[in-house]
Chains A and B, each alone.
Chain A
Amino acid sequence: MTLDAAVGEATHLKEDDMARHVIDATKEVFSTMVMMDLEECYPLEDSVTHFHCSISGMVGLAGSYTGILAVHCPQSFAMKITSNMLGMDVDEMGEDVNDALGEIANMLGGYVKMVLSKGGMDINLSIPTIISGEEYSINSMAESDCVVVPFTFEEQKFLVSLKLHKE
């Protein structure tokens, strides 16, 4: 997948640059707030829309750019992330895991906003949204393309995706 041409023209960022911002932001957030040093993989060619036993934390961007920043990870890994963030064992899905994934999406969305926005007032971030379940799909009705970066920590793998459109 490639970044929307209008986004590239407006920001002077190629998809590799935007992927690098996503990688840097994700590694910083996880290193600082989750106490995990991540390894990134090469960005995926295609977006991922179907998830199994997973949880997705998403924040929307609206204003001079619109889009969605999403973190998709297996539920087992989401509980590990939450345990690290809270400093206590979390072994079931629920409010704590939803809140932790939402806050990670929020911090990553804030980073992307900083990259795209001139002063912070031209783009608004939504309150985070969480989807989780045994089987679910997430499909965008818009044609905008996206950057999808896989990350690994030990044996676990998760995705961060950014879908953007220039208004």
Chain B
Amino acid sequence: MANVLIVDDSSTMRKIISRSLRQAGLPVDDIYEAGDGIEGLSALGDKKVDLILSDINMPNMDGLEFIKQVRANGNNVPIVMITTEGGEDIIKEALSNGASASIKKPFTPDQLNEKLGGLL
């Protein structure tokens, strides 16, 4: 069973992702939440996390900078972007910063299962 950190400035979206992870039947144990990249980095400091699901467009610290910081800290946990920002160049930048995959909002539990199944 894996612990998942959801980083998204929308509390509604964090709840939807959390519920969808359960509905998809993925082997998820604890789910932690953060409202931006800064809170995400803080959560990584004191929690054991096996997978990060992160938005890109967030206040204070966006998802692209968040990935950079996570990798700069030597953390190799898989990071999947869940975002409305589906543009090819942005996804390329996220992948080059160290993201493992991306999922476009809106999504279904089946799409989560398909993308995340191999990472958990």
Contacts and interface: CB of A to CB of B under 8 A. Distances in A.
Interface of A: 28-29, 32-33, 82, 85-87, 95-96, 99-100, 102-103, 106-107, 109-111, 113-114, 117-121, 125, 127
B96 interface: no
Given A87-B19, A103-B13, A121 B90 contact: yes
Contact of A102 (B10, B58, B90): B10
Interface in B69-95: 83-93
- Interface majority SS on A: helix, strand, loop or mixed? helix
Interface residues of B, number: 27
25 contacts: A32-B106, A32-B107, A33-B106, A82-B12, A86-B12, A87-B15, A87-B19, A96-B12, A99-B10, A99-B11, A103-B12, A106-B84, A107-B84, A107-B105, A107-B106, A109-B84, A110-B85, A119-B87, A120-B85, A120-B89, A120-B90, A120-B91, A125-B57, A127-B57, A127-B58
